[in-house]
Structure 1
Amino acid sequence: MRKLSTAALGSSAAAVALVMAGAAPAGAINSYNATPAPERTEVGALVATWDNDDDPTTPDRVDWVCSGTMVDADTFLTAAHCTAPFTWPANVRFYVSLDQDVQTGLDDAAEAHPGDPAAVARAVGVEGVAHTEAGYPGNSADSHDIAVVEVPAAQMAARWSFTPATLPTAGRLDELGPRGLDATDFVVAGYGTQEARRGPGGHTHPGGGVRMKAPESFDALNKTWLRLAMTAPQGNGGACYGDSGGPNFAVLDGELVLVATTITGDAPCYATNVVYRTDTPTARTFLAPFVDLP
């Protein structure tokens, strides 16, 4: 699967175990053909606190770990592999931040609240309750890789002004078909890192923690998956580590519609973004208790 942030992968033993078991890392927005996205106020970062020492009573780690999108006043849509209980210590807590630069916010809060990860998390985000699709991790046909974090609407509105993303009607991508999708503009957004760069220690993925966006183009459509090309020569950008759960918008009738969420792709983050459709029966059945669907 794709893409907990590299920081979280390096510090959460449970997440590392998941990757070693065969999950491919998830992405970030590439450096090429990408631009900052301050206008995408509905797109946010998933922040977590957790414990990885011998004292489970208090958290000792805090970091942003994935991306996501507000789809109504109190529902943050993200990926199941970002929230699934078996990927985290038992005392993990999740927060949603809609800051444009969540990494700087975390750095500043760490200076203001040294040794207090919970205070750092509260400084940058609003705490919520995660709900992970029960069928996750599913199989290659349908991974059920979808989750939401419910957050207090009043607290979100007090801190940020945003317009929730528009979700698609049932089967919208099927209606368009390959020819219609070829003619559709796509935009990916998220907080992830950049494509692989070779250095003395091997490949690294720099950056991350700032909301970015990039164009993509249609590659293939499957029952629950949409594959989007993120190759530079075609003018595309794409997703990388930390972009998991973040939105992939299609421009439909002049409106940005959140048709899929970033899940996986090629490890160097150069070629393909494999994203989980939001217009399928599985996704809509999961989302129905949390948000009014079109």
Structure 2
Amino acid sequence: MRSTRTTTLVTAAAAAACAAVLATAIPSAAINSYNATPAPERTEVGALIATWDDDDDPGTPDRADWVCSGTMVDADTFLTAAHCTTDWPENVRFYVSLDQDVQADLDRAAAEHPGDPAAMAEAVGVAGVAHSHPAYPGPASDRHDISVIELPAAKIAERWSFTPASLPPAGALDALGARGLNDTPFVVAGYGTQEAQRGPGGQTHPGGGVRMKAPVTFNALNDAWIRLGMTAPQGNGGACYGDSGGPNFATLDGRRTLVATTITGDTPCYATNVVYRLDTPGARDFLKPYVRLP
């Protein structure tokens, strides 16, 4: 779920293709607040930052913020969701940051570059070029909700050290079957907000902008999707707004593997994370030009 937060330079939320929420600017944890922990070691997981405007001066961006999550899958390819990179003003520009606390970085950049969203984004991230699946949005059975940001490898390497995430072999999840998937450890990661909280002004989704992780458990497998349980009594955490495009890892043959990306879920972010499989023919065909597949 794409999310846009307010900063000193951002005055309203952008329209999201899937479901966007204007989150409060409380500097607290991402993912759900329960059963979640910081993930400073997941240096391959990053935040997608956008600069854009929607006024009468398309040559000058007037907004800059983190909007989604994603993962480096090789030295110059950042994997995210297509609903994070489509339905923007024509002058949108995307950046990627692999820092742990991107919101704090943006706050500092706003103070250092007042009134200059482009300089903010350059200070925090590395600019790249988005390639969304050409068939997005597809039918409910397969929305083709997948995108990559191609980045200059040298600039990424200058700023961050990381090991790219491992992608799954073709049909890896089908091969496990329901019993194997029930026994498989899953972890979701991202920069998104917390579950819905009630306040004087109604429901809000606080936090966001900090890389977090949480355990989730298998619920159901479809041709293009996995549904992962994120209910607290089972010891799970889960994803929320701003975690779209972020990774869902599974331990396959003892190896942490990026098997799916967060796409959507229940509105208050308490029950289910609906994630896009990366072991299917459709996902692999899209990824093939950008990354070497197992």
TM class by shorter-chain length?
A: over 0.9
**What do the CA deviations read for 1:275-294 (whole angstroms, capped 9, x no partner)?**
00000011000000000000
The alpha carbon displacement at 1:76 in A equals 0.1
* CA–CA distance in structure 2, aligned partners of residues 6 and 119 of structure 1: 19
* CA–CA distance in structure 2, aligned partners of residues 7 and 155 of structure 1: 26
What secondary structure, in the 3-state scheme, does the structure 2 residue paired with 1:11 have? coil
The alpha carbon displacement at 1:114 in A equals 0.5
Q: Is the 8 A contact 1:52 1:61 kept in 2?
A: no
Q: Is the 8 A contact 1:216 1:236 kept in 2?
A: yes
The alpha carbon displacement at 1:157 in A equals 0.3
The alpha carbon displacement at 1:5 in A equals 1.3
Correspondence for 2:161: 161
**What do the CA deviations read for 1:13-63 (whole angstroms, capped 9, x no partner)?**
543xx4xxxx44589610000000000000000000001221111100000
* CA–CA distance in structure 2, aligned partners of residues 171 and 253 of structure 1: 14
**What do the CA deviations read for 1:75-131 (whole angstroms, capped 9, x no partner)?**
0000000001xx100000000000000000000001000111000000010000000
Correspondence for 1:190: 190
Gaps of 5+ in 1: none
Correspondence for 1:5: 3
* CA–CA distance in structure 2, aligned partners of residues 176 and 25 of structure 1: 34
* CA–CA distance in structure 1, aligned partners of residues 15 and 193 of structure 2: 21
Structural mapping, 1:92-171, within 5 Å: 92-171=92-171
Correspondence for 1:211: 211
The answer to whether 1:80 aligns with 2:78 is: no
**What do the CA deviations read for 1:220-279 (whole angstroms, capped 9, x no partner)?**
000000000000000000000000000000011221100000000000000000000000
TM-score (norm 2): 0.94
* CA–CA distance in structure 2, aligned partners of residues 11 and 130 of structure 1: 23
TM-score (norm 1): 0.94
1:7/1:179 CA distance change after superposition, 3 Å: same
Q: Is the 8 A contact 1:12 1:88 kept in 2?
A: no
1:13/1:217 CA distance change after superposition, 3 Å: closer
Correspondence for 2:40: 38
What secondary structure, in the 3-state scheme, does the structure 1 residue paired with 2:267 have? coil
Correspondence for 2:27: none
Gaps of 5+ in 2: 24-29
Identity of aligned residues (%): 75
1:114/1:5 CA distance change after superposition, 3 Å: same
1:231/1:79 CA distance change after superposition, 3 Å: same
Amino acid at match of 1:164: P
1:175/1:129 CA distance change after superposition, 3 Å: same
1:25/1:171 CA distance change after superposition, 3 Å: farther
* CA–CA distance in structure 1, aligned partners of residues 224 and 61 of structure 2: 36
1:47/1:13 CA distance change after superposition, 3 Å: closer
Q: How many residues align?
A: 284
Root mean square deviation of aligned Cα: 1.5
Structural mapping, 1:218-233, within 5 Å: 218-233=218-233
Correspondence for 2:26: none
Correspondence for 2:245: 245
Correspondence for 1:258: 258
* CA–CA distance in structure 2, aligned partners of residues 124 and 223 of structure 1: 37
What secondary structure, in the 3-state scheme, does the structure 2 residue paired with 1:56 have? coil
Amino acid at match of 2:269: C
* CA–CA distance in structure 2, aligned partners of residues 151 and 145 of structure 1: 20
* CA–CA distance in structure 2, aligned partners of residues 94 and 212 of structure 1: 22
What secondary structure, in the 3-state scheme, does the structure 1 residue paired with 2:89 have? coil
The alpha carbon displacement at 1:6 in A equals 3.9
Amino acid at match of 1:241: Y
Paired residue for 1:63, among 62, 65, 76? 65
* CA–CA distance in structure 1, aligned partners of residues 238 and 51 of structure 2: 28
